[in-house]
């Protein structure tokens, strides 16, 4: 076994075993630890933090049964107070900016998630945005289902708020195959005019939220829509269902005067099936002999770092990546050498050239197209693991040409951690590339000049909802093809990219305010260290 594969194996074992190794229990006995007497309930002393293991898995409502992989839940009888003290100690130990958390008495808060909301920094970035816009939690069962299969309840349509406050405007960004949305004939660019009789432009936000983002499968809602290019509207009904996301769509190769250009729309690094789909796409690109590549990450909020690393390897190939660092994780000053979650020595993430046991590749080695340049299409929704892809390649001097808008600005990541049925996501590390750069909290900016850091050579282009994704006339893709041919941005491009906060892309207003919708959008825009299954030898 070579050194890289051993490191991959160890990383994967640690990450996939997180729910076991992070849990209490300690000894060899299978007998659950008895509930502690009331007199031993945890108490708060400002600035004094007991070990988090003292409180882990001591639950107000212990779960029975197993997780999605058949592993028994580790829960023991406890209380909400134990759960909150675990959150306090865990945050003080692993949160990247632990010394910026105001220490508050857990007993003065209600449910654990209410307390979790305040266990974060209130500091701002240089642009005035919140430093930590990525602090969230989700029901563990929902999280495991989404990560395992990419499935979630809805219509299979991604709604985009062009205007998020009255007068509002909502359009379809893309749809999933074999979903209620495609069954109703919806495509990119269709505008939502009414939801259940309420006008989008200025109607009741609660009704709009309930119809656009149904809480359960089997809900039927009525929509008035105007299809792309249509003069009139039509009325449709859609019934919500569990929809599995298709991460890679619209894969194709363009024959241009300056060579073959591959294109793929890649929507998420956050599901197990994403790994196999990008491998299959790169087998095709390699067989076609593409000379340039456009990776459309405009709606890709991130996900698993190991898949992000694999994608970067498949772009650059073995000669440029061998022995190079994809990303190095920098934790808080309590943990300069050891990962506090896995207990392992910190070591850089390489450019992975192998598959996990969730995927296969010809000969067991990932395909590659061996390029020294890649075009990336971006918006404010291009986040986290997508930004790691940009930063990692720039760290080894593979040119990234950024077409679109400023990315969301999240050089941070975490180990998703379950406690008592809730999975918590708190910023635990910052990612740096081979050159030691990881300071892009305000995003990567497409620019006419490249400073080697957060300003990236490229073209500022607005998202174009008048064309389908993958259409060479769509503004971002057209700009990439023009730049590939001439080395310059199209003369018609007048948009200037602006620095903006993550919240600007996911606005805090009367629409999209529900906890469920916020959970889903936060989950889509993250950098997750946990790998789903161990990688092959």
Domain residue ranges of the chain, discontinuous segments joined by + = 151-243, 248-512
Report, as an integer, the average pLDDT of 511-535: 47
Cβ proximity of 318 and 497 under 8 Å:
no
Cβ proximity of 408 and 381 under 8 Å:
yes
User: Residue 215's pLDDT band (boundaries 50, 70, 90)?
Assistant: confident
CA distance 529 to 537: 20
Q: At the top level of CATH, which class does the domain 248-512 belong to?
A: alpha beta
pLDDT at 4 over 80: no
Question: What is the SS3 assignment for 363?
Answer: helix
CA distance 502 to 158: 18
Cβ proximity of 152 and 243 under 8 Å:
yes
pLDDT at residue 258 in the model: 92
Report, as an integer, the average pLDDT of 11-21: 30
3-state secondary structure 439-501: CCCCCCEEECCCCCCCEEEEEECCCCCCCCCCCCCCHHHHHHHHHHHHCCCCCCCCCCCCCCC
CATH no. for 151-243: 2.30.42.10
pLDDT at 84 over 50: yes
The larger pLDDT score, comparing residue 20 to residue 304, is at 304
Per DSSP (E only), the strands in 130-284 are 136-139, 151-154, 157-163, 169-175, 191-195, 198-199, 220-226, 234-239, 241-244, 248-256, 259-266
pLDDT at residue 145 in the model: 78
pLDDT at residue 207 in the model: 92
pLDDT at 497 over 70: no
Nearest of 341, 323, 340, 339 to residue 3 by alpha carbon: 323
| CA separation, residue 47 to residues 44, 107, 395 (Å) | 9, 15, 39
Lowest mean pLDDT among 147-161, 259-273, 325-339: 147-161
pLDDT at 460 over 60: yes
What would the two tokens of residue 205 be? Answer: 């936000």
pLDDT at residue 528 in the model: 52
pLDDT at residue 510 in the model: 37
- pLDDT, the chain, mean: 86
Best-predicted range by mean pLDDT among 119-133, 206-220, 284-298, 508-522? Answer: 284-298
Per DSSP (E only), the strands in 48-109 are 58-59, 76-77
Report the percent of the chain where pLDDT is more than 70. Answer: 84
CA distance 232 to 229: 9
3-state secondary structure 34-55: CCCCHHHCCCCECCECCCHHHC
pLDDT at residue 150 in the model: 57
CA distance 273 to 359: 8
CA distance 37 to 400: 59
pLDDT, tens digit, 9 for 90 and up, residues 388-400: 999 999 999 999 9
CA atoms lying within 13 Å on the CB side of residue 457? 15
């Amino acid at each position: 076994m070579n050194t890289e594969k051993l490191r991959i194996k160890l990383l994967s074992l640690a990450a996939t075993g997180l729910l076991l190794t992070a849990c209490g229990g300690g000894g060899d006995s299978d007998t659950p630890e008895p509930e502690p007497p009331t007199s031993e309930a945890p108490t708060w002393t400002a600035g004094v933090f007991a070990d988090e293991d003292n409180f882990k898995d001591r639950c107000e409502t212990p779960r029975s049964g197993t997780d999605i992989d058949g592993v028994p839940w580790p829960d023991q009888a406890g209380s909400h107070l134990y759960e909150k003290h675990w959150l306090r100690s865990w945050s003080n130990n692993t949160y990247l900016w632990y010394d910026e958390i105001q220490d508050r008495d857990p007993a003065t808060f209600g449910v654990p998630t209410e307390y979790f909301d305040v266990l974060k920094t209130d500091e701002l970035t240089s642009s005035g945005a919140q430093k930590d816009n990525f602090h969230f939690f989700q029901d563990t069962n929902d999280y495991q289902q989404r990560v395992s299969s990419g499935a979630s309840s809805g219509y299979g349509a991604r709604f985009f708020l062009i205007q998020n406050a009255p007068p509002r405007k909502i359009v379809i960004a893309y749809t999933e195959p074999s979903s209620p949305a495609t069954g109703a004939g919806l495509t990119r660019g269709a505008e939502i005019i009414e939801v259940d009789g309420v006008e989008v432009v200025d109607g009741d936000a609660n009704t709009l939220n309930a119809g656009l983002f149904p809480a359960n499968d089997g809900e039927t809602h009525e929509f008035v829509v105007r299809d792309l290019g249509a003069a009139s509207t039509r009325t449709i009904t859609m019934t919500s269902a569990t929809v599995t996301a298709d991460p890679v769509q619209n894969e194709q190769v363009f024959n241009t005067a300056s060579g073959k250009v591959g294109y793929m729309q890649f929507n998420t690094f956050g599901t197990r099936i994403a790994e196999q789909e990008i491998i299959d796409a790169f087998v095709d690109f390699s067989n076609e002999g593409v000379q340039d590549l456009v990776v459309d990450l405009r709606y890709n909020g991130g996900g698993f770092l190991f898949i992000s690393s694999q994608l970067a390897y498949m772009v650059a190939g073995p000669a440029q990546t061998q022995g190079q660092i994809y990303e190095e994780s920098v934790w808080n000053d309590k943990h300069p050498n050891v990962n506090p979650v896995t207990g392992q020595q910190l070591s850089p993430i390489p450019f992975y050239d192998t598959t996990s046991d969730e995927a296969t590749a010809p000969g067991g080695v990932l395909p590659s197209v061996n390029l020294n340049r890649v075009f990336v299409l971006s918006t404010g929704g291009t986040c986290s693991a997508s930004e790691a892809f940009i930063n990692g390649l720039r760290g080894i001097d593979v040119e990234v040409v950024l077409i679109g808008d400023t990315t969301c600005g999240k050089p941070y990541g975490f180990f998703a951690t379950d406690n008592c049925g809730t999975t918590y996501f708190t910023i635990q590390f910052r990612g740096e590339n081979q050159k030691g750069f990881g300071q892009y909290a305000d995003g990567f900016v497409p620019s006419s000049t490249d400073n080697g850091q957060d300003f990236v050579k490229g073209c500022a282009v607005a998202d174009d909802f008048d064309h389908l994704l993958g259409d060479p006339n769509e503004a971002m893709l057209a700009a990439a093809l023009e730049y590939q041919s001439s080395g310059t941005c199209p003369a018609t491009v007048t948009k200037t990219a602006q620095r903006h906060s993550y919240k600007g892309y996911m606005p805090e207003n009367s629409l999209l305010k529900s906890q469920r919708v916020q959970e889903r959008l936060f989950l889509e825009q993250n950098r997750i260290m946990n790998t789903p299954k161990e990688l092959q030898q």
